[in-house]
Structures are given as structure tokens and as C-alpha cells.
Chains A and B, each alone.
Chain A
Amino acid sequence: MFSLKEYITPSSLEEAYELLNKNKNNVILGGLLWLKMGNKNYNMGIDLSKLGLDTIIETEPQIEVGCMTTLRQIETSSVLNTCFDGIVSASVKNIVGVQFRNCATVGGSVYSRFGFSDLLTALLALDCYVHMHKGGIIPLEKFIKMPYEKDILIKIIIKKDGSRASYKSCRMTATDFPILAVALSRCNSSWKIAVGARPNKAALAAKASKLLPENPTKEDIASACETVTSELHFGTNLRGSAEYRKELAKVLVKRGVEEICR
């Protein structure tokens, strides 16, 4: 069971950042769902809920999602259900239940960079950035590979580049962690294939993506699927073996490409 000596709701991001770095055992609180499962003894829990960071704002070039936005807000947002064929909303729909998604936050989900993350996989297929208080604006692809630093994720930014997109996951039961998650996007003639829950963190299959022309043939799709399984590492855990995940990846990538081309 985790413990907390102090709970605080700072009134500015600057204050939150200062408090976070004052003691190595101070921690930012998102929805608490993951933090609470651990058994660490924290000094101070810093709750950002008074900072107005729970909004989804659409402007002409981009969509900005504040770190305290809940997964349920993402699921029900009309903007996110429309843009990019709704893959951002679709990616969170199977995460436990409504009352869970009313608590879990975007900040907690993206900062954690979990291997099994549905949301991270969907965002990686898009032109997405994280805005960190100290670290500034960082492409998500780079952020995923960075070490965990004591910083605050303020919001995520998704560029509205008109991408067509598709999101697919495979689960043993409806609300379980995914065995595999696949997100694809096509912007003009350029494809991105993101594969998560391998069970490692989501990654882009760059070589396979390059094999797909704007309107791929069956052969193009087949060779992209093969390349996905050879260029990315697939592992084994209690949800599935590496071999099984590779087979799943081929099926989900093929379905995703076909969906986008339809």
C-alpha cells in the first residue's frame, strides 16, 4: 500500500514544479490508479486539479489535451471522436470501465509510458507532441525513449494534418490489458505503423511504414506485415508469446491498412 505524508493542490505550475523537485519523494498525482497500486512511501502528493488542465481545445492547426483530462473525457469528446477517424477515443474505450476512465488521466497515462498503453500506441501513429513544464515541447516518439525525469507533463498536442487512421487491439477479455495494440495513420501518401503492448513500449515500425504506397496492393500489405514482425521486438509474457504476438501483428496491421484504404 502506498502512503503519502502530505497532500497539496498548488495554484500554479511553477509552484507545482518547485514542490516536485524539493524532495525526491514528492510526486505528481494523476488519477492515482497506478500510483495507488504500488507500495512506495511518498512525502508529498501534488494534485494539479486546481490548474484548469482538464480541457480538450481544438484550434485550426492542432488539438491540445490537458494532462488532467480524464480518459472518459477523451472517449466522449466530439472532437476526438471525429478527427483521425476517432482513433484517440477508440483507443481508451476498453480500459477497465467508465468509473475507472472517469478517474484515470492523460498525464498519468502518457507520462508513465507503459508498455501496454493503448493511448500511447494511438498517439504515436499521429503527429503528436508532449508539452513538459521544464523540458518544453518534445515529439512523442522521442519522449517515449527518454528517461523518466522529474518534470510535469502539461498537455499533449496533436497536429491536425488530416491523417486517416485506424486503431486495433486484441484482448483476452473485453476489459483486460491488450495482448497487442496497433495504430496506423496515412497522411497524404506517408504511412505510420505503431505497435504497442508487444509487451514493450509502443514503437513505430519505420521500415514497414515506408513499404506502403498511398494505395497499397495486397503484396505491399503482405510485405509490410512481414517487415513489422522482423523490425520490431516482440516478447512473451503471461498474456501471450512472442510468436503469437507476431501473428496478431500481421493480422491487425493488415486490417488497419485495409480500413484506411476503404
Chain B
Amino acid sequence: MQIKCYINNRLFNEVIEPDMLLIDFLRHTGFTSVKRGCDTANCGLCTVWVNEKTVLSCSVLAASVNGKHITTLEGVEDEAIAFGKFVADEGAEQCGYCSPGFIMSVLSMKRELNDPTEEEIKHYLSGNLCRCTGYMGQLRAIKKFLQQGKDGA
């Protein structure tokens, strides 16, 4: 079947199998930042945005994004680099495998929540598992990232 969709604002017109998953479609089209962790909808590594909302690309049919806008880490590179500096400063990354999905969720949270509390940050990101860091460094990095520019920092 044929689908037409925008990936990072670029139009794609592709022939796919009806049961192709979005993660495979994106990787096949060259967006290899999108990775598989668990494949059972638990880890959040495969997170991308469909029409600005985070979804698990391992659990969404490519057919269902026909006519929609998809954003991957490649599409928010500048913001990701800016956030990455805070992550590095806080020593909040070890193997880095969780980062693509984690960053997509953090940037989505920044758009969706206004001035979130620590509890709200933890709740919003509870679907992004990290096997290495223990989350505390990530939390510090997020707080500083969200705070930047607000108090002249």
C-alpha cells in the first residue's frame, strides 16, 4: 500500500506492507536515531512524535501515519544538542542507549507542561527507562535545561 507523510517536514511517498511498524519505516527511510529497546511497549527508546504527540514507534503501524507529520530526533537536532550540553554537564548519560527516546520525551514535555514540578517531570518521563544512570543526573539536567533563560542563567 502507498502512504504519504511528512518526516521532519520533508514529504515522503512510500510503498509499505500493511503491517509495517513505524519504527521500521523510519529506519528504512534513513532515520536511524529511532531505535528498538524492548519491542514490548515498555522502555520508551523508540519514542517519536506523530502530529506533535509522543508515541511508541515500535507499536504504531506505519499505515496509520498516512497524511501525518512525524518528528524524529534528527528533526529537533539543535534543541537536542542544546539539551545534550546539560546532560553532559550533569554526567547524566552513561551508555547513551536510552537517549534518543528520552530526549524526544523531554522536548515534548517542554512544549506540553508549563513550569513542571519535580513530581510532574518524573511522571511525564516514567515511560523512558534508563538502565545506567539512576535518573538523578537526568533530573538535574532537565531542571537546569527548563530553567535556562528564566533567571538569567
Interface residues of A (CB under 8 A from B): 2-7, 29, 31-33, 36-37, 45, 47, 49, 72, 93-94, 96-100, 102-103, 174-175
Are A2 and B19 touching (Cβ within 8 A)? yes
CA distance A6 to B125 in the complex (A): 35
* B-side interface residues, number (CB < 8 Å): 26
Which of the candidate stretches B57-65, B77-85, B92-100, B143-151 sits at the interface with the other chain? B57-65
**Nearest CB on B from A8, distance (A):** 9
Contacts of B64 in A (CB 8 A): 7, 29, 47, 49
Q: Is B53 in contact with A102, judged by CB distance below 8 angstroms?
A: yes
Once the chains bind, are B59 and A103 in contact (CB under 8 Å)? yes
Measured between beta carbons, the chain B residues less than 8 angstroms from A97 are 44, 105, 125-128
Residue of A nearest to B16 (CB): A7
Q: Which of A32, A33, A93, A99 contacts B105 (CB 8 A)?
A: A99
Contact: B18 with A6, CB < 8 Å?
yes
Q: Among A5, A36, A72, A94, point to the contact of B18 (Cβ < 8 A).
A: A5
Judging by beta carbons under 8 Å apart, are A33 and B59 in contact?
Answer: yes
Q: Which one of B56, B60, B61, B124 has the highest number of Cβ atoms from chain A below 10 Å of its Cβ?
A: B56
| Cα(A39)–Cα(B108), bound, Å | 32
Question: How far, in whole Å, are A102 and B59 apart by their CA atoms in the complex?
Answer: 11
Given contacts A3-B19, A99-B44, contact A93 B123 (CB under 8 A): yes
Contacts of A175 in B (CB 8 A): 42, 126-127
Beyond known contacts A36-B21, A100-B41: 9 more, CB 8 A cutoff: A5-B19, A7-B64, A29-B61, A33-B59, A45-B63, A94-B126, A97-B126, A100-B59, A103-B56
